[in-house]
Amino acid sequence: MAKYPLALLPVVTISGGQARLAPDAYGVSTRTGTPAQAIASWAAQGAAWIHVVDQDAVEGTGHHRAHMVRSAAHLQYSGGVSDDESLAGALASGASRIVIHADDVDWAANAVAAHGDRLAVGLDIRREDVGDVGLELRKAGAARFVVTDAAPSNHWKHGDRHLLEEFCTRVHRPVMARGGIHHLSDLHALHELVPHGVDGIIIDPEPLYDGAFTYTEAVAAGADRFDMFFWGPPE
């Protein structure tokens, strides 16, 4: 029986031009380095995709798109991309995929219509009109969504997982889920939504950098059910 595809994306957050490096094994990662070093540290642990958050760009203090260069992993860039200027800069980088914001739905619709599967649309599952917006953007050409549970606690618990399943069913497009991964049990809970359209889980820094589990353990938690390397290395 063929396995469902599922990517696990560690997060590299660039702040002040620096980023935390992946821990060597268990324990807390206290080392920082350049964005390129941080990206390489996760690629060395086998990450086929890495979700790069350009926090400086989000806060308007500069950007690090020049660091989105070809490496042993695909890079998914998220840096407050919400207008033509920031999108053009992100597209000119070496990132394999750009996450755009959909606060301006008309702008997002034009963007996905023009650039197709190079983009993913970022949405909050608690947004009141999330299903309607997802459907509208799918019709405009959105090829993928990154759906975040931004709740302060109890991420992806029961009701929110139901909302995510509903969203997947409505849009019929691949979805990456982000938020609320603290333990391997949280991964197992999201695994149940893979048959409904989730093909990626973005693991925020806390568990991987602070020693809750390793990237290898995260991969092993679903290796018997999912193909974690279906995208392969960048060409």
- Model confidence pLDDT, tens digit, residues 58-92: 998 889 888 887 678 999 999 999 999 999 999 99
Give the separation between CA 113 and CA 108, rounded to whole angstroms: 8
The pLDDT, as a whole number, for residue 39 is 94
From residue 217, give the alpha-carbon distance in Å to each of 88, 106, 201, 212, 214.
37, 41, 14, 10, 5
Query: Does residue 102 sit within a domain?
Result: yes
CATH code for the domain of 14: 3.20.20.70
**What confidence tier does 151 reach under pLDDT thresholds 50, 70, 90?**
low
Query: Does residue 235 sit within a domain?
Result: no
Mean pLDDT over 102-107 rounds to 96
Model confidence at 130: pLDDT above 50: yes
Strands (E), the chain: 4-5, 7-14, 19-20, 32-33, 49-54, 74-81, 97-101, 119-124, 145-148, 175-178, 198-203, 226-227
Give the separation between CA 117 and CA 130, rounded to whole angstroms: 20
Model confidence at 179: pLDDT above 80: yes
Query: Does residue 116 sit within a domain?
Result: yes
Q: How far apart are the first and last CA of the chain?
A: 28
Percent of the chain with pLDDT over 70: 92
- Is pLDDT larger for residue 156 or for residue 66? 66
- Is pLDDT larger for residue 117 or for residue 230? 117
Query: Does residue 233 sit within a domain?
Result: no
Query: Does residue 191 sit within a domain?
Result: yes
Asked if 178 and 150 touch (Cβ cutoff 8 Å), the reply is: no
Range of the domain at 164: 4-227
Query: Does residue 128 sit within a domain?
Result: yes
Per the structure, the count of domains in the chain is 1
Say which residues have a Cβ less than 8 Å from residue 74's Cβ, sequence separation at least 6.
Answer: 48, 49, 50, 96, 97, 231, 234
Query: Does residue 84 sit within a domain?
Result: yes
- Model confidence pLDDT, tens digit, residues 4-61: 999 999 999 999 999 999 998 776 777 999 999 999 999 999 999 999 999 999 998 8
Mean per-residue pLDDT over the chain, rounded = 90
pTM of the model as a whole:
0.93
Model confidence at 2: pLDDT above 90: no
Residue at token pair 């409505």: 170
Model confidence at 234: pLDDT above 80: no
The pLDDT, as a whole number, for residue 235 is 46
- Model confidence pLDDT, tens digit, residues 212-229: 899 999 999 999 999 887
Query: Does residue 213 sit within a domain?
Result: yes
